[in-house]
Amino acid sequence: MNTPTPELRTVGILGAGRVGTAIARQALKAGYAVKIATAKPVDEISLLVQIITPGALAAEAAEAASADLVVVAVPLHKYRTLDAGLLAGKTVIDVMNYWAPIDGEVDDFENDHRTSSEIIQDFLAGAKVVKTLNHIGYHELEEDGTEPGTPGRRALALAGDRDEAKALVAGFLDRLGYDPVDAGPLTAGRAFQPGTEIFNGSHTAEQLQTLFSVAAEPANA
């Protein structure tokens, strides 16, 4: 894949589960410098990071959060363990999903009409949250990426309230091997939450645009 643009050179990932490490490997393949942090001390995760994501560096949360782009890939029910102060002013990708049938009900999300990413944005008040990478399997992320212009290239949706943050993330998705499709503000992320057609399948940019158009139509239309 091509070398990333100067505007985005480093990626910090909070969380070393299957999703976080898959994103790390794909980001490394795309030429980014990657730092991974968990709730554990660096010396406890260094070997794990070296084995599972060769080329990435184990780091403290503050160091990972200082990257040009930060990916939050912790279990959603642990989102309050994030240090909002560290992420103030940062562009943050939220890859987490609220999926009660699989993960169990969480009051914070079950009893709130907002999408999970809107709740995360409220908690990380100083950050610029962009929802994406939540609707592709961690194994597919490393298998389906292709070069720009490839016929039938898979697309990934993104949603956020800050245009400059979405532009940065769109470039990141493109480098990972996917056509970015802007769904609109964070509220639009509802269209690719668990249980939706977008979440459940693989789509091109044109197909995603069509699905977003349908989702935006009034219910009684």
Q: For the domain bounded by 10-216, which CATH number is listed?
A: 3.40.50.720
Q: Residue 220: is its pLDDT beyond 90?
A: no
Q: Residue 54: is its pLDDT beyond 90?
A: yes
Q: Residue 221: is its pLDDT beyond 50?
A: no
Per-residue confidence band for 101, with pLDDT thresholds at 50, 70 and 90: confident
- Rounded Cα distance between 61 and 158, Å, is 24
Mean pLDDT calculated for residue range 114-122: 97
- Rounded Cα distance between 95 and 181, Å, is 16
Q: Residue 3: is its pLDDT beyond 80?
A: no
Whole-number average pLDDT of the chain: 94
Q: Residue 80: is its pLDDT beyond 50?
A: yes
Q: Residue 38: is its pLDDT beyond 60?
A: yes
Strands (E), the chain: 10-14, 33-37, 57-58, 69-72, 91-94, 128-131, 155-160, 179-184
pTM of the model: 0.93
State phi, psi for 202 to the nearest 5 degrees.
Answer: -110, 130
Q: Residue 160: is its pLDDT beyond 70?
A: yes
Percent of the chain with pLDDT over 90: 87
Sign of CA dihedral 145, 158, 162, 97: negative
Per-residue confidence band for 219, with pLDDT thresholds at 50, 70 and 90: low
